[in-house]
Amino acid sequence: MVQEFEKVGVVGLGTMGAGIAEVFARAGFDVTGVEIDQAALDRGRGHVETSLSRAVGRGKITEEERAAIDARLTFTTSREDLADADFVVEAVPERMTIKRDVFSDLDRICPPGTILATNTSSLSVTEIAALTGRPERVVGLHFFNPAPVMKLAEVVTTVSTSAETVDIVTEVAKRIGKTPVTVGDRAGFVANALLVPYINDAIRLYERRVATREEIDASAQKAAGLPMGPLTLADLVGLDVCLAVMDVLWDEYRDPRYVAAPLLRRMVAAGRLGRKTGRGFYAGKDDPAEPQPTGRFAEMVREEETLELGEMLIAPQIDDALRMIGDGYASAHDVDTAMRFGCGYPKGPTELLEERGAEHVVTTLVAMGEYSLTTIAVPAPLLVDQLPDVGHDGHDH
């Protein structure tokens, strides 16, 4: 089926959409990129050109390969130019009104056999599919930023998506060099539902003056071998993006676990969104290190032997992952794959659990609960099941 694909459309050429267009063109597909007006189109083309120039400069592709990729890319302001597309990926801003406009247009313009994919990271794919007359051929295809570099692609299915569509899109994801994880339509999917609450936890610990931002970041990096700490990552992702994901998770689950930290909401309201505005948790490279907090929580954590700062960030994420696996939403393999390939984790949550042992994780969660430092009331059943001598058959599992 994939071999029959010739023309791919990408609607929306912001940083993400431009990256997606580049990924398909690099994989040998003819790509038509569509933007709303000439100015946006020029910006989108600029994103692709900058990225390809960087790839040539780093020796990732040759000038000849770049010329071949350029030849496969077409840019237009008319969605009508997608009338012969076999596969279209939508990458417009995360607002349902804009997506509704795009999908009703694509449904009218594209042949009935064309598969339509949304790159949404937070909206309901089911709702988007329902906007068309072909819900069985609509799927989520969630890329991670920067799209040419990050290997994960979440293939998000709805109750209406046909098995054939899932197979084709999974195959397409592999052909463009991605590692696909197939999941159902649920807020945050796998990666964001595990990553953003972890960032939110770090913000909450910082807000309660448990430790400095440098201590929080360094401890998380050390605990899980991460390339950067959660507060640095929040600045990179964008605090507005983190808040939007938390709000989507809250809307779906109404669970205290997904209440955005008040400090996160205040920083977004103040326009301190991280790197994109030049102000976030780290205002600039020359910021002085913060003084050591001396409040009640900081003292408690330093004195409490069962609480280590890094573990206070990793244990809740392991619990979230075990809950997700226990719900039957994703397999342990899919969860670990999503975090490794989508978020740059050296080890996934179940691998981190194996390293620590369930007893250590549960002890951390219980101690955090005693000091009101987590919103997790009871550890995940699947986690408790792994405790020594707690399994239903009376022995360790």
Structural domains of the chain, ranges and CATH numbers in brackets: 2-184 (3.40.50.720), 191-384 (1.10.1040.50)
Query: How many residues does the structure list for the chain?
Result: 397
* Number of neighbouring beta carbons within 10 Å of residue 297: 16
| Separation of first and last alpha carbons in the chain | 43
- pLDDT at residue number 347: 96
362's enclosing H/E stretch is helix 358-370
- Contact between 344 and 225 under an 8 Å Cβ cutoff? The reply is no
Annotated catalytic residue, options 22, 35, 90, 154: 154
- Contact between 289 and 347 under an 8 Å Cβ cutoff? The reply is no
How far is residue 322's CA from residue 349's CA, in Å, rounded to a whole number? 8
- Strand intervals (E) in the chain: 7-11, 30-34, 73-76, 87-90, 115-118, 138-143, 152-157, 179-184
- pLDDT at residue number 289: 72
- pLDDT at residue number 391: 44
How far is residue 44's CA from residue 15's CA, in Å, rounded to a whole number? 7
- pLDDT at residue number 145: 85
3-class DSSP state of 115: strand
- pLDDT at residue number 392: 46
How far is residue 308's CA from residue 311's CA, in Å, rounded to a whole number? 5
- pLDDT at residue number 394: 43
34 - beta bridge partners? Answer: 11, 76
- Contact between 188 and 249 under an 8 Å Cβ cutoff? The reply is yes
Positions in the chain short of pLDDT 70: 1-3, 283-288, 390-397
With vertex at residue 129, the alpha carbon angle to CA 240 and CA 127, rounded to the nearest 5 degrees, is 50
Annotated catalytic residue, options 142, 215, 311, 351: 142
The phi and psi torsions of 156 (rounded to 5 degrees) equal -105, 120
- pLDDT at residue number 259: 97
Annotated catalytic residue, options 121, 124, 160, 219: 121
Catalytic-residue membership of 333: no
What angle, 0 to 180 degrees and rounded to 10, lies between the N-to-C axes of helices 63-71 and 15-26?
Answer: 110
| Unique residue bearing structure tokens 């430092």 | 373
Catalytic-residue membership of 119: no
Tokens, residue 328: 């039957």
- Contact between 341 and 150 under an 8 Å Cβ cutoff? The reply is yes
How far is residue 175's CA from residue 153's CA, in Å, rounded to a whole number? 12
Annotated catalytic residue, options 192, 200, 219, 311: 192
β-pairing verdict for 115-118 and 30-34: unpaired
Q: What is the DSSP letter of 180?
A: E
With vertex at residue 369, the alpha carbon angle to CA 300 and CA 334, rounded to the nearest 5 degrees, is 120
